[in-house]
Amino acid sequence: MPNSSALNISNMLNQLQLKDQNAGCSTGQNWFSRGTIFDSFSPVDGQRIASVIGASEADYETAMTAATAAFPVWRQMPAPFRGEIVRQFGNKLRDLKLPLGQLVSYEMGKSLQEGLGEVQEMIDICDFAVGLSRQLHGLTMHSERPGHRMYEQYHPLGVVGIISAFNFPVAVWAWNTALAWVCGDVCIWKPSEKAPLCGVACQMIIADILKQNNLPEGISCLVNGDHKVGEMMSNDKRVPLISATGSTRMGRLVAQAVAKRLGKSLLELGGNNAIIVTPDADIKMTIIGAVFGAVGTAGQRCTSTRRLIIHESMFDQVKEALVKAYGQLRIGNPLDENNHVGPLIDKDAVAMYQSALKAVVEQGGQLLVDGGVLEGEGYESGCYVKPAIAEAENSYQIVQHETFAPVLYLIKYSGTVTDAIAIQNGVDQGLSSAIMTNNLREAELFLSQAGSDCGIANVNIGTSGAEIGGAFGGEKETGGGRESGSDAWKVYMRRQTNTINYTTDLPLAQGIKFDL
């Protein structure tokens, strides 16, 4: 496993076909950009990696024109053939897993293990989609009219727009595209402007696959740029579905724009995730799950653990164990496998982290593990911070807010698990949740209709680390969307009901008579 000194940046970029200055827009083999040039700086060491030329309005139009032209061709190809293209894409990702994982780690700041894991998620969803390409099932049902047959089938939507966030700069795009492609859709992607090279690298990979199979431009389109690109996509009637991952604030803007034109939205927004710790919890498992959930990706996962809701009888024991565990964390270059915690994405994120620590104290909380920005050798980027723990109340304004940083709030509860569930549900977000207990009744209550109101509810594991087999998403201000596994594919298609009359009569439904 390479450490920071062993990583050859030039070799990594060469393997991914990246240059010092990259066009940020593509329809496949055709690369172009006439917008603003912006540099990508690594939060690992503050160094410039390369630059990307963003999309102008004309560039966006070029991409959309290609996508709309490619759709009629792509949708007519048999779904198993589309699955074969995704299979080839997954195999190419296997070949490039190391350099792409390194780029994710270096450009975004997550640990190399997590960077490699993100690429593995891409591979996994490709495998899932290949099987799905032969299972796009509809339903058949009995008609009330004699000599009639009814069934439902699914058809592709058209151009799917994807807006992704910096914290998972490649996997979330793959979650969407792998499913959309086998469903017969074409895709246009706006990556985060904080990780633009990851987007260019992914487009390079799929562009080669499409070229080898003599497929037209426009099946996979890339439009790097700032929020204006997202606004163009959201307001474009030619894009029937927008899948957007990011903050709740961003999601509201996307949802309003898309709803105004009666389009469809798939929203994966903020999380304020909690682990409930009952008197029957296994403390060792609790600490492992809570620490990884709180500090993994430097607290920049939508499923990161923000709140630990602990029964008063266990509070001091859990608190002491957590403080001890935090004292063992190693913070530094994420490409060094010996480190647990890497940097935040940029200095704006650092400022938000500092503001949260100040706010929790002002609102009545107490810092149990002090935070702070790290300085000196190895921390030159200014983006490394210390994971912090604060004792707090769920009602605090800052606790109600999602802080995208490694800040964990410990909240004490008394009474029954029902009281803990009420605290957990007492926030506007509803993504991921967990309970630590060996009590079967508590676990089942947590999973029942009277339990967690989140899209993800786990027992004896943390809030972070979803598998692609299950649908991923949340409720309330998390947006209600579902991506990845299960039947999430249906959002990328339109449903059609068909009735066939194979008789010489024309009876009407509901027994209506209309004789001529």
pLDDT bin (cut points 50, 70, 90) of residue 466 is confident
Measured CA to CA, the distance from residue 393 to residue 399 in angstroms comes to 7
- Any idea what the Cα angle at residue 113 is, between residues 52 and 22, rounded to 5°? 10
pLDDT of amino acid 84: 98
pLDDT of amino acid 3: 42
Measured CA to CA, the distance from residue 484 to residue 468 in angstroms comes to 5
Q: For the chain, what is the radius of gyration of the CA atoms?
A: 24
Q: Phi/psi of residue 433, each to 5°?
A: -155, 160
Measured CA to CA, the distance from residue 399 to residue 359 in angstroms comes to 9
| Mean pLDDT of the residues in the chain | 96
Q: Is the dihedral of CA 129, 131, 134, 137 positive or negative?
A: negative
pLDDT of amino acid 6: 60
pLDDT in tens, 409-426: 999 999 999 999 999 999
Q: Are 231 and 190 contacting, i.e. CB atoms less than 8 angstroms apart?
A: no
Length of the chain, in residues: 516
Q: What is the DSSP string of 173-207?
A: HHHHHHHHHHHT-EEEEE--TTSHHHHHHHHHHHH
Q: Is the pLDDT of residue 2 over 60?
A: no
Measured CA to CA, the distance from residue 78 to residue 59 in angstroms comes to 31
Measured CA to CA, the distance from residue 268 to residue 477 in angstroms comes to 9
Measured CA to CA, the distance from residue 53 to residue 195 in angstroms comes to 13
Measured CA to CA, the distance from residue 98 to residue 286 in angstroms comes to 32
Tokens of 206: 């799929």
Measured CA to CA, the distance from residue 9 to residue 472 in angstroms comes to 33
- Range 31-42 average pLDDT: 95
Neighbour tally for 360: CB within 10 Å: 25
Tokens of 416: 């029954």
* C-alpha pair distances (Å), 303 with each of 84, 111, 272, 433, 458: 32, 16, 8, 8, 12
Measured CA to CA, the distance from residue 115 to residue 99 in angstroms comes to 10
Q: Are 403 and 306 contacting, i.e. CB atoms less than 8 angstroms apart?
A: yes
Q: Are 93 and 125 contacting, i.e. CB atoms less than 8 angstroms apart?
A: no
Tokens of 356: 């949260």
- Range 179-195 average pLDDT: 98
The catalytic residue among 302, 402, 442, 483 is 302
- Range 349-360 average pLDDT: 98
Sole residue written with tokens 């500090």: 295
Measured CA to CA, the distance from residue 263 to residue 380 in angstroms comes to 45
Measured CA to CA, the distance from residue 275 to residue 462 in angstroms comes to 7
Contacts of 322 (CB under 8 A, 6+ apart): 287, 290, 291, 308, 368, 369, 389, 408, 410
Q: Is the pLDDT of residue 1 over 60?
A: no
Q: Are 146 and 507 contacting, i.e. CB atoms less than 8 angstroms apart?
A: yes
Q: Is the pLDDT of residue 516 over 90?
A: no
- Range 335-349 average pLDDT: 96
pLDDT of amino acid 5: 44
The catalytic residue among 268, 442, 477, 483 is 268
pLDDT of amino acid 325: 98
Nearest to 223 by CA among 42, 32, 20, 71: 32
214 burial level (CB within 10 Å; 0-12, 13-18, 19+): exposed
Structural element, H or E, at residue 457: strand 456-459
Neighbour tally for 175: CB within 10 Å: 28
pLDDT bin (cut points 50, 70, 90) of residue 514 is confident
pLDDT in tens, 376-408: 999 999 999 999 999 999 999 999 999 999 999
- Range 81-103 average pLDDT: 98
Neighbour tally for 130: CB within 10 Å: 21
Q: Is the pLDDT of residue 47 over 90?
A: yes
Structural element, H or E, at residue 54: none
pLDDT bin (cut points 50, 70, 90) of residue 4 is very low
Tokens of 379: 């921390």
To the query of whether residue 477 is one of the catalytic residues in this protein, the response is: no
E-strand spans in 17-147? 21-23, 25-26, 31-32, 37-41, 48-53, 139-142
Nearest to 443 by CA among 468, 463, 417, 464: 417
Contacts of 429 (CB under 8 A, 6+ apart): 248, 269, 270, 271, 272, 273, 402, 474, 476, 477, 478
pLDDT in tens, 102-146: 999 999 999 999 999 999 999 999 999 999 999 999 999 999 999
To the query of whether residue 268 is one of the catalytic residues in this protein, the response is: yes
pLDDT bin (cut points 50, 70, 90) of residue 217 is very high
The percentage of residues in the chain with a pLDDT greater than 90, rounded to a whole number, is 97
- Range 187-216 average pLDDT: 98
